[in-house]
Amino acid sequence: MRKYYASVGEWYEATKAAGFSVPVQMCHGLSRTMTVLNLSFPHVWDILERRKVFCLVDKTFFFDMAWLNLSAEEIIKLTNQRRKYES
């Protein structure tokens, strides 16, 4: 379930095949963040995981819907602030 997939679709198929429940919001959030930040799936997975935007309970992923309500500018600002603290 980790981040070794090239795309959201590839991850989704592998995750569903492994018996996990993946809501459409999870896929939408991953795709939108990839587009906004122009980053690959593994990089976006890391960002969202560190920011605790999603969690896994039993075999079901839960995605923080507040993330989907952020504008592109807010997402960029939040991820840039995070990078400053990691330096």
Question: Are 4 and 42 within 8 A, CB to CB?
Answer: yes
- Per the structure, the count of domains in the chain is 1
Alpha helices in the chain, H assignment, sequence order: 8-17, 24-37, 41-50, 65-68, 72-86
Question: Over the stretch 13-71, which tens digit does the pLDDT of each residue have?
Answer: 999 999 999 999 999 999 999 998 889 999 999 989 989 999 999 999 999 999 988 88
Stated pTM of the model: 0.81
Residue 49 belongs to what domain range? 8-86
Q: Is 27 within 8 Å of 8 (Cβ atoms)?
A: yes
pLDDT given for residue 87 in this prediction: 45
DSSP 7: S
